[in-house]
Chain A
């Protein structure tokens, strides 16, 4: 660090808010802009409060009231100047990001996932719905929906006899009804519902069950489409008081609130189950699954290697390009720069597909054309696959680094470089001693963020190698290029049954690790800032 250059002024250590009077405010156009904006914000908030009141969304109402009060205080008080600048971004952050975090955190303590997709009420409804089954060997009937003194009923023809029944009264023969082609068209004392009315009252028609006879074993008639009725009976009986389902063979399924399932004594259960809280089960499973212990260490090492090397390679190339082409003597540098961000302008998933094709051992252009017919197994060999991933990630990632370095370079005062030149420092020394440290002040946090991003860069791994080449014969589909987050997916979704609860818990564990490392790194950048 050359000491004789004038470092840029460190941020002020204290700034007192200027004490201004409202009288001075009134003479400023900015005050009126603020006033109008705050009127709009208040109108927006009040509208929402009224709407939330109307919808009886009490929590939202409370949130809106608090936010509005805070906003008015912040912007009309003289004291909270930093808050004036932070609040807009924070509001969005809290609503859209903290909410997602909270949601994930809650899910991590539940068994949410396939088979436990909904709450208990809908699960019961669904079990009842699927247990109401057509009796084997019974015929179907062209059905007419009728209105008998205000209650809906069915009219069907059986053995040339017209039968009519309602929810309360079982089917009974009726005389004087008219039928045509097996379908009843007129019933004395009842009106026939036309199609449009059936459609309009569809839920009543769907729920209508007309007992076939006084014997409950004969079941009931029901229709799903308003034109055809069939004889059905429920194979399960729900006892609301005991919260049990009883099958026709006497098996009793009891609600198990720990699993979120109706379970019989023999261990079988009814589908679907429902969502319940399962405590910390999801968090401990990663440590108890013996199948993970083999590959875990190598995956952990590769995850770190991948994330660190990705940041270093992309940053090195991006920085190099930014510095090299920050030279106005290079004609056409505007065009060059535009070309350098091309990889950034194409959708990442498309790029991964293309690279995968290019790296194909027998048919890829890299082996076939560039390497003149070589058969290098880029994606099928463990080490090469890792190199390939880093190479592709370099292609995908350096334009970002190039952009931020180009931007950050502009903050380095020209005088400083000139001072270095006067000082006799060569370009290389100037870069290491002046440019890089100054650049790192603003770029280092982004490198940490980039590290964290790559640590969880599931989509690249997934698209390019799918984690492969797989460890042959391993009890989990895990491969040499799998990183922690893609391993989480293999574990949580491995058998095709998606366990969101488990996946959330595992990814939160990973977050804790990455967050901690980043926090350590961030403390280092603070020191960096203080040195300069």
Chain B
């Protein structure tokens, strides 16, 4: 018996090696990149695309259109939103990954540092895409992937409760308090904080998270100094006035607005259709400035990345080429309801809600895509929560400590 266990153990161990060996064999092309072993596809070919639940229907239709023009079909594989990046990084080296993935631009840093995405060079067709959307997919001066939709948060107003929105955030809070509702405004937070939804207020104090140069973020923090501390102090003031509450998470904020318990909510286009379906008359506006400068939300850009392990890179590039077109982006807008990255397609939109979000994001910058951003989000949100709930006695000092911790984590 003992012998057979030992034998089986040995077997198990060698299986490990087998699997590792298998991975090696399939993923080591000769240096120089010439990999000509792939068999010629019989048909025009198939591109495997990972896409999440909310976007798969739109890409199914787009894929049908693309097949009609090129003969190349899309094989769409639905993946959970949060798993697309991590699974792709883990699986691409085995050669089992997809040709293309559809995800948000803030994955760029991770994808590039793991060497799993290929740079994209489409020539002049990208001139039709907005600068901000291209910047979002640019890393070290190279474009990785094609952006197709931009989303950002704005101020959503319940027109049944208030009609005219003042120019500053302080006046807005005063107005909201007079509206006779439970909250003057709801901005979702939660246990871990939500720096994303507070960022427009922060930028209106002139305290961006990182400084920029040449349209790309540097890793120099931009929120140190008096501007950031002024914002930290302002957060406490908002909390004292009842405009901010760390216990209001996404669910609570949405429900409060749906129930007419707040005249305003700071949110993005993902919930407006629920508001409209519930019979609310809403208007989307830019978020009024709190600190005197324009409030600039983060832009989140959806796009398609090309795998560096794709055996169908040429076909995939043809699809990316097609993706940049006004037709394709208009179609995706119609199916997905987000501002297109293609400027001509964006200008043609007459939906007041989407146009409202586009206006709210006019000064916006793409969310930073550096891998270290996860650490920044954690410290940032946690500190803001501790300021809002009063755990941090001195907001300015807590803010300074946060900056130090972020720098230490880099």
Contacts and interface: CB of A to CB of B under 8 A. Distances in A.
Q: Would A and B touch once assembled, by the CB under 8 A criterion?
A: yes
B323 to A, nearest CB: 11
Of B70, B93, B382, chain A has the most CB atoms within 10 Å of the CB of: B382
Secondary structure type dominating chain B contacts: helix
Contact of A59 (B15, B121, B192, B373): B15
Interface string B308-323: 1101111101101100
A122 B93 contact: yes
Interface string B12-48: 1111111111101001111111111010110011000
Contact of B192 (A205, A468, A494): A468
A477 B248 contact: no
Nearest to B253: A363
Nearest to A291: B408
A363 B31 contact: no
Contact of B313 (A57, A202, A361, A379): A202
B252 interface: yes
A60 B27 contact: no
B243 to A, nearest CB: 14
A277 interface: no
A86 B21 CA distance: 30
Contact of B21 (A59, A379, A470, A494): A59
Given A114-B113, A129-B118, A497-B372, A63 B31 contact: no
B308 A126 contact: yes
Interface residues of A, number: 88
Of B192, B402, B408, chain A has the most CB atoms within 10 Å of the CB of: B192
A121 B29 contact: yes
B119 A94 contact: no
A74 B114 CA distance: 47
Given A102-B12, A126-B308, A466-B191, A121 B114 contact: no
A78 B17 CA distance: 34
A115 B89 CA distance: 10
B38 A497 contact: no
Interface string A61-88: 0110011001000100000101100110
B109 to A, nearest CB: 8
B159 interface: no
B123 interface: yes
Contact of B311 (A102, A203, A272): A203
Contacts, number: 250
A80 B392 CA distance: 68
B118 A199 contact: no
Nearest to B144: A130
Nearest to A71: B4
A357 interface: yes
Contacts of B392: 472-473
B251 interface: yes
B410 interface: yes
Contact of A199 (B24, B72, B124): B72
A114 B371 contact: yes
Contacts of B121: 134, 224, 230, 232
A98 interface: yes
Contacts of A59: 14-15, 17-18, 21
B71 interface: yes
B106 to A, nearest CB: 10
Nearest to B25: A56
A99 B16 contact: yes
Nearest to A121: B28
B405 A497 contact: no
Interface string B64-90: 000000111000000000000010011
Report the 7 A-B pairs with minimum CB-CB distance, sorted nearest first.
Answer: A496-B374, A272-B115, A202-B314, A59-B18, A140-B123, A121-B28, A126-B115
15 contacts: A59-B21, A80-B4, A98-B9, A117-B115, A119-B27, A125-B308, A133-B142, A225-B122, A230-B121, A360-B252, A361-B247, A363-B252, A470-B382, A472-B392, A477-B378
Interface of B: 1, 4-5, 7-22, 24, 27-36, 38, 40-41, 44-45, 70-72, 86, 89-90, 93, 110, 112-116, 118-125, 140-142, 191-192, 245-249, 251-252, 308-309, 311-315, 317-318, 320-321, 370-376, 378-379, 382, 386, 389, 391-392, 398, 401-402, 405, 408-410
